[in-house]
Amino acid sequence: MKRVELVGVSKSYDGKSNVIQEINVSIEPGEFFVLVGPSGCGKSTMLRIIAGLEEVSSGLLFIGDASANHLPPSQRDLSMVFQNYALYPHLTVEQNIRFGLHTRKVSKKEQIERCIEAADMLGLSDLLKRKPRELSGGQRQRVALARAIVTQSPICLMDEPLSNLDAKLRAKMRSEIRQLQRKLGITMIYVTHDQIEAMTMADRMMILNEGMVQQMGRPLEIYNQPENTFVASFIGSPPMNFGDGEVVREVLELACERSKKTERLLNHKQVMVGVRPEHIQLTKPDQVGFSAEVLNVEILGTETLLTFDIGKGEQWIAKWNGQWDIRIGEKVSICIDDKNLCFFDKEDGKRINTRAPFSEMQALLNGGLV
Instruction: Check residue 327 and give its pLDDT.
Output: 92
The answer for residues whose C-beta is within 8 angstroms of residue 249's C-beta and 6 or more apart is none
Q: Which pLDDT band, with edges at 50, 70 and 90, does 269 fall under?
A: low
The residue ranking higher by pLDDT, 166 or 331, is: 331
Q: Which pLDDT band, with edges at 50, 70 and 90, does 246 fall under?
A: low
Instruction: Check residue 328 and give its pLDDT.
Output: 93
pLDDT at 192 over 50: yes
- Phi, psi torsion values for 178, nearest 5 degrees: -65, -45
Please give the model's pTM, rounded to 2 decimal places.
0.84
Neighbours of 363 (CB within 10 A): 19
Instruction: Check residue 220 and give its pLDDT.
Output: 95
Instruction: Check residue 267 and give its pLDDT.
Output: 56
Q: Which of 226, 328, 202, 216 is nearest to 274 (CA)?
A: 226
- Phi, psi torsion values for 143, nearest 5 degrees: -65, -45
Instruction: Check residue 354 and give its pLDDT.
Output: 64
Instruction: Check residue 82 and give its pLDDT.
Output: 84
Residues 71-102: b if buried by 16+ CB within 10 A, e if exposed: eeeeebbbbbbeeebebeeeebbbbbbbbbbe
Domains of the chain: 4-229 (3.40.50.300), 238-365 (2.40.50.140)
Whole-number percent of the chain with pLDDT over 90: 51
Instruction: Check residue 121 and give its pLDDT.
Output: 83
Instruction: Check residue 284 and give its pLDDT.
Output: 83
Q: Which pLDDT band, with edges at 50, 70 and 90, does 268 fall under?
A: low
